[in-house]
Amino acid sequence: MKPFQRLNRFFNHLPVHLALILMCVAWVLPTMGLFVTSFRNSEDVRTTGWWTALAARQTPGAPEYTTYCASCHGADGKALPAADLSDPTLIEKYPRSNRLLAMLRKEINGQPHLTDPALPENPNEALEKLSPILTYMQDFSGSTQDQSRFTLRNYADALVGYKGTQNYITDCEQGVESALSKFKCTAADLLNPEGMGRAFVNSLLVAVPSTLLPILLAAFAAYAFAWMDFKGRMWLFALLVGLQIVPLQMTLVPIARMYVSLGMEGSFLGIWLFHTGFGLPYAIYLLRNYLSGLPKEVFESVYLDGANHWTAFWQLAIPLATPAIASLAIFQFLWIWNDFLVAKIFLSNNPVLTVQITNLIDPRGGNWHILTGAAFLSFLVPMIVFFGFQRYFVRGMLAGSVKG
C-alpha–C-alpha distance, residues 319 and 315, integer Å: 7
Amino acid 193: pLDDT: 82
Longest pairwise C-alpha distance within the chain: 102
Nearest 10 degrees: CA dihedral of 135, 138, 143, 144? 20
- From 261-275, 277-291, 388-402, the region with the lowest mean pLDDT: 388-402
**Is 40 in a helix, a strand, or coil?**
strand
Cis bond before residue 95 (omega within 30° of 0): no
Residue (of 136, 135, 131, 110) closest to 120 by Cα position: 131
Average pLDDT of the residues in 242-256: 85
% residues pLDDT > 90 (the chain): 9
CATH of domain 196-398: 1.10.3720.10
Q: Identify the residue with better confidence: 372 or 393.
A: 372
Q: Identify the residue with better confidence: 190 or 368.
A: 190
Identity at 78, one-letter amino acid code: K
C-alpha–C-alpha distance, residues 67 and 103, integer Å: 18
The enclosing H or E element of 234 equals helix 233-242
- 178 pLDDT band, cuts 50/70/90, is low
% residues pLDDT > 70 (the chain): 87
Residue burial 310-345, b: 16+ Cβ < 10 Å; e: rest: eebbeebbeebbebbbbbbbbbbbbbbbbbeebbeb
Amino acid 58: pLDDT: 60
Amino acid 59: pLDDT: 63
C-alpha–C-alpha distance, residues 284 and 325, integer Å: 11
Give the tens place of pLDDT for each residue, 185-237.
888 888 888 888 889 999 999 999 999 999 999 999 999 888 888 888 888 88
Average pLDDT of the residues in 173-195: 78
Name the percent of the chain in helix, strand, coil, to the closest 5: 70, 0, 30
- Write down the pTM of the prediction: 0.71
Q: How does the average pLDDT of the chain come out, rounded?
A: 80
Amino acid 2: pLDDT: 61
Amino acid 365: pLDDT: 63
C-alpha–C-alpha distance, residues 327 and 321, integer Å: 10
Greatest mean pLDDT among 89-98, 244-253, 303-312, 338-347 lies in 338-347
Greatest mean pLDDT among 5-14, 332-341, 365-374 lies in 332-341
Average pLDDT of the residues in 344-368: 81
Amino acid 214: pLDDT: 93
The CA-atom distances, in angstroms, between 195 and each of 33, 380, 381 are 24, 16, 17
Domain ranges for the chain, please list them. Answer: 3-52, 58-147, 152-192, 196-398
Residue pair 78/189 in contact by the 8 Å Cβ criterion: no
Average pLDDT of the residues in 106-134: 75
User: What sign has the CA pseudo-torsion 109, 102, 132, 124?
Assistant: negative
The enclosing H or E element of 194 equals none
Give the tens place of pLDDT for each residue, 68-88.
777 787 777 777 777 777 777
Residue 31 has pLDDT above 90, yes or no: no
C-alpha–C-alpha distance, residues 225 and 43, integer Å: 60
- 396 pLDDT band, cuts 50/70/90, is low
Q: In terms of DSSP H, where are the helices of 151-308?
A: 153-160, 168-174, 177-182, 196-227, 233-242, 252-262, 268-292, 296-304
> How many other CB atoms sit within 10 Å of the CB of residue 160?
27
Beta bridge partners of 150: 40
Q: Identify the residue with better confidence: 163 or 346.
A: 346
Amino acid 401: pLDDT: 43
Exposed/middle/buried for residue 284 (C-beta within 10 Å: 0-12, 13-18, 19+): buried
C-alpha–C-alpha distance, residues 328 and 158, integer Å: 31
Residue (of 277, 269, 249) closest to 347 by Cα position: 269
Residue pair 318/287 in contact by the 8 Å Cβ criterion: no
Q: Identify the residue with better confidence: 107 or 155.
A: 155
> Rounded to a whole number, what is the distance in angstroms from the first to the last CA of the chain?
33
**Is 49 in a helix, a strand, or coil?**
coil
Amino acid 168: pLDDT: 80
Greatest mean pLDDT among 4-8, 54-58, 218-222, 384-388 lies in 218-222
Q: Identify the residue with better confidence: 335 or 362.
A: 335
Q: Identify the residue with better confidence: 355 or 194.
A: 355
Residue (of 236, 217, 204) closest to 277 by Cα position: 217
- 403 pLDDT band, cuts 50/70/90, is very low
Residue 94 has pLDDT above 70, yes or no: yes
